[in-house]
Structure 1
Amino acid sequence: PQGQAPATGGKLKVTKGGGWNSPPRSLRISNRGRLPEDTASDAVGIRCARDAQAEELTVKTPAPPPATEPAPTPATAAAPTPATEAPQAPSPTSSQAQTPPPSASAPQPTPPTTTPAALQEKTLTQVPLTVVHLPGGSFERGCVKGDSWCSADEQPRRAIVLSPFWIGKTEVTVAQFRAFAEATGTAMPEQPSWSGDDYPVVNVTWDEAQAFCRWLSGRLPTEAEWEYAARGGVSGTRYPRGSEITREEANYDGLAGRDQFAKAAPVGSFPANGFGLYDMLGNVWEWCLDWYQEDYYTQSPDRDPQGPEQGQKKVVRGGSFTSDPGRLRLSYRSSLKPSERWLFTGFRCVIPQRP
């Protein structure tokens, strides 16, 4: 009946209202969250409802025990382990509907036209950071037509041609950013207590991320370069291996499931994609060079696009350890103000290929 949830078929349950750890955007009355039904979290509770026509309930209060009855002995079992925080992520734009559960229709994968083998790598001398050479060429950017998960800003899907470039094999780590901070006198952004030297650096603004990359004679990746790199030579799929993604492939959903990470994970903890790049999906959102514009794909150049000339927010891509699977899709776009700092936002660098 109208107004009721689907009886079967869903893998995630709706959550509403935000939690104690939610940013203001998640407290919007219209915001919709989602979690697996077996999730236990210290930021998720319940309230009850019953049909107005239901039979009146009678609440019975148990009588107090006799005064001579001994007080109950506290249980000796260990207290339950605190659950993880409820997942949070950059909010979708106005046109971006909440992604449906994985049972929605999905496109069939198209084999890559070329999948480079044994791509060249090199380690920079300024800081021990490995970059992978991507030969460039043409790829299909955007959401596959007919996929029910598509948002308006992911369309139209079209061929984009890119020049060759080098890109970080992993997200920039805490240790790598600290080396930059010490060498340049830049303030080191505060890192969470669960982080470490081999974790992705977070709480960095767009300007700080770009400054690090420029220190290496590089820059942040354009949005097109990022999607080309993330696809790893695959075309026509939501994720590198098909229409769904598992916790063996990426760190997401804010749950310490089989991946063992309820927060960010050390870089390189999950399998690399077809280009030998790690954590392109999940772990932390990654800053891109471009300003965000919802209809940019309708007017973007076909060769080496770099985004609109101005804007209010910068593109972030890839999802994070707090994200639901829909935000890890290869074509999914989100954005943040350049000055924002978040525990789930990091970056990697591109080194343009010199003539």
Structure 2
Amino acid sequence: MSNIDHIILFLFLFLFIPLWGKYNCHKTGNKFWFSAIFPILLISIIIGCRYWGADYLWYKYQFEHLDNIVVIEEQSSQPVFFGLNHLINWLGFNYVGAYIIYSLIYFVGAFNLLKNYGQESKYMYWFLIFAYIGFGTGIIRQSISIGIVMFSIPFLDQKKYIKFGLSAICACMIHSSTILLIAIFILFQKFFTVTIKPIYTILFYLTITFIYNPANMGFITDTVQMFSYINPKFQGYIDNSDRWFSADAAQEIYTQSPIALLLDSLFVISIFYLGHLALKIRYNKQVAYMYNIVVVGYILLRMFFNFELLRRIATPMTMFYPIPLGYALYILLPLLKEKLITATTKKKIIFSISLIFLYLALYWGRFLLQSPDYHFVWNINQ
């Protein structure tokens, strides 16, 4: 059983953020940011005060030992992150303050991204916490850089390329692998704005989920080779390709039970179906390329689900599912209410939405109620 503060605080976030989005999604400019101050600070403080996460203790150590030669060598290639930590330390914050600021950067980026969709973001906020909390609490430095990427995406959509470029450079100087995500956004925003019929993506996804065997990973080494010219760190992955890309690299901790695999697959293909249907009814280029990124991301994630390094590349692409899914609900729910669609389509929509919320309820219900090792700093310091 989870600690009572864990249950109360995260349940409050799950309920409050969608409610906030319902009444504030239409706001623009300073009015939006004035109303967004409270939810952003609330999320940042709650998540920043946690005492858990895959990389939590390592980055806690780094912040508390900024003059350590190992830490200096680790952060020297990421000067913005190095400078950020020294600034936080100079301001007098401890590691808890650092984690609150990390979360603040991450969620300011998330809110700025959803703000880009105006009234159509109404239901996107329903899924904001679910989509971003996992990566934001587990993969610390990369999540900060992704926060800056999320902040910069509206600049790309608005063709403010100088601002986008400066933001992209800043993100890469926090975590160099972010260059892959930035390249994906540029390519998809420019060239991949037409969606593929879900019958093809769903069949392909189901095939790689239940038939495809990712044991033969050798070809990945050749793909990663070209990135070594961009950043020497990638050469380390090539030199240790057996560790990262072979069958031995698969980690059992990521293996899902048959029921979890089935529910996860139904959740994903429901997003594929609803997103495409909504875009077919009312096309939106900014949503369409995000939809395509999410589809490709989920396919890649499923192909390499048990491989730690490749998961870290694919997972950021799937984090943006609140955009096509929220847009789908914004378009489809009024049609259901006004009975403007056929009975068959109505059944498919209701069934898909039910599967999505069933999965979220089970997954995050477990997170709420069965996380006894998830503590806050006030429990640790007692």
Compute the TM-score of the two structures, normalised by the length of structure 1.
0.27
Instruction: Answer 1 or 2: which has greater helix percent.
Output: 2
Flag the structure with more relative contact order, 1 or 2, with Cα contacts below 8 A and sequence separation at least 6. 2
Instruction: Answer 1 or 2: which has greater strand percent.
Output: 1
